[in-house]
Amino acid sequence: MRAARPLIVLLILALSACSHTTGPRTWAASVCTALAPWRAEISTLTDRAQEQMTAKTTPSQAKENLMRLFGGAETASEQARAGVERAGVPDVDEGEQVAQSFTAALSGMRDAYGRARTGIEGLSTSPQKAFYEKVGGVVEKLNAEYEQSSLDTGKLSSVELKQAFDEVPECR
């Protein structure tokens, strides 16, 4: 029986390591920490993209710049998604669903930026007027896809998580 005791302890430790649930406040802080650099990067990239739309550049320069911007947003979104995934699962009712909805939203945003980058990449830069019109279409589609994937912590059904997102310093 004594030999079985260490085996049981190891089994319990292994199972508890697999579950990776986290208290609501800790989970919210981890999520906000993962999202903070992403939000800043997306804001910066959005400003740059808007500047590109009005700047006096050649269509080839605008195409290259927009592809780089959307690629950067795609990368930033994937980094945020991975950070949220590392946060684990909040220890609340339907915590697994909440965690999955956050990672799914970030995956959707990552994919939207990737499609925008690919869309810009596929555009012909001449004639110039047609290029900029098509860029506008790609950006409109990106905005619609982004909106569908948006994260809104105010829509959480968990009172504990809503409170945690409102209270932890990392989320302010």
Between 7 and 19, residue with greater pLDDT: 19
pLDDT band at 11 (very low <50, low <70, confident <90, very high): very low
The model's pLDDT over 134-165, given as tens digits with 9 standing for 90+, comes to: 999 999 999 899 888 877 777 788 899 999 99
Query: Is 6 a residue whose pLDDT tops 70?
Result: no
**What distance, in Å, lies between the first and last C-alpha atoms of the chain?**
53
Distance separating alpha carbons of residues 29 and 22, to the nearest angstrom = 11
Q: Does domain 23-171 have CATH number 3.40.50?
A: no
- CA–centroid distance for 139 within its chain: 18
CB 158 within 8 A of CB 147: no
The model's pLDDT over 102-138, given as tens digits with 9 standing for 90+, comes to: 999 999 999 999 999 999 999 999 999 999 899 999 9
The model's pLDDT over 36-58, given as tens digits with 9 standing for 90+, comes to: 999 999 899 888 877 776 777 88
Residue 148 has a CB neighbour count (10 Å cut-off) of 11
Q: 3-state DSSP call for residue 22?
A: strand
